[in-house]
Chain A
Amino acid sequence: MSTRKNTPLQSLRVLSGIVLITWLVLPPIPLAIWSFAKGWYFPDILPKRWTLNAWEYTFSNTAGVIDSLWITIWISLAATFLSILIGVPAGRALGMYKFKGKEFIELLILAPVIVPGIAVVLGIHSVFLFMGLTNTVTGVILVHLIPTLPYMTLVMSGIFANYDAAFEDQARSLGASPFKTFWYVTLPAIMPGIIVGGLFAFLVSWSQYILTLLIGGGRVITLPLLLFNFATSGRNDITGAIGMIYILPGIVILLLTAKHLSGRSGAVGGFGQI
Chain B
Amino acid sequence: MSDRKKIALLLLPAMLVIVVLFFGGLTIGLMRSFNYMPIIGLTEPNFQAYISIFSDIEFYHSFLLTFHIAFTSTVISSILAIGAALLLRRSFAGKFIVNFLFQLNLTIPHLVGAIGMLYLFSQSGSFARLAAEWQLIARPSDFPALVFDPYAIGIIMQYVWKEVPFIGVIVLANMQAIGEDYESVARSLGASKWQSFRHVLMPMIFPGVLSASIIVFAFTFGAYEIPALLGANYPAALPVLAYQKYTNVDLAARPEAMAMAVIIAILCAILIWIYVRYCRKRIRGHV
Contacts and interface: CB of A to CB of B under 8 A. Distances in A.
Nearest to B100: A258
A158 B284 contact: yes
Interface in A35-90: 41-45, 85-87, 89-90
A39 to B, nearest CB: 13
B176 interface: yes
Interface string A247-265: 1001101100010011110
Interface in B166-219: 166, 169-174, 176-177, 208, 212, 214-216, 218-219
Interface string B87-111: 1001000000011111111111111
Given A30-B126, A42-B140, A150-B18, A124 B25 contact: yes
Sort chain B's interface into a size bin.
35 or more
A28 B116 contact: yes
B105 A24 contact: yes
A115 B14 contact: no
Chain A interface, >50% SS class: helix
Query: In this complex, which of B99, B171, B208, B225 has the most chain A Cβ atoms within 10 angstroms of its Cβ?
Result: B225
Query: In this complex, which of B80, B171, B221, B222 has the most chain A Cβ atoms within 10 angstroms of its Cβ?
Result: B222
Given A155-B285, A228-B111, A209 B225 contact: yes
B239 A87 contact: no
B257 interface: yes
A48 to B, nearest CB: 13
A126 B219 contact: no
Given A43-B132, A157-B285, A254-B107, A90 B84 contact: no
B132 to A, nearest CB: 4
Contacts of A110: 272, 275, 283
B75 interface: no
Interface of A: 13, 16-17, 20-21, 23-31, 34, 41-45, 85-87, 89-90, 92-95, 97, 99, 103, 105-127, 130, 142-143, 145-146, 149-151, 153-155, 157-159, 161, 203, 206-207, 209-210, 213-214, 224, 227-228, 231-232, 236, 239, 243, 246-247, 250-251, 253-254, 258, 261-264, 266, 268-274
Interface of B: 3-4, 6-7, 9-11, 13-15, 17-19, 21-32, 37, 39, 80, 83-84, 87, 90, 98-113, 115-120, 124-126, 128-130, 132-133, 140, 158, 161, 164-166, 169-174, 176-177, 208, 212, 214-216, 218-219, 221-225, 228-229, 239, 242-243, 246, 254, 257-258, 261-262, 264-265, 268-269, 271-272, 275-276, 280, 283-287
Please give me the 5 A-B residue pairs with the lowest Cβ-Cβ distance, nearest first.
A158-B285, A116-B222, A269-B287, A27-B116, A250-B107
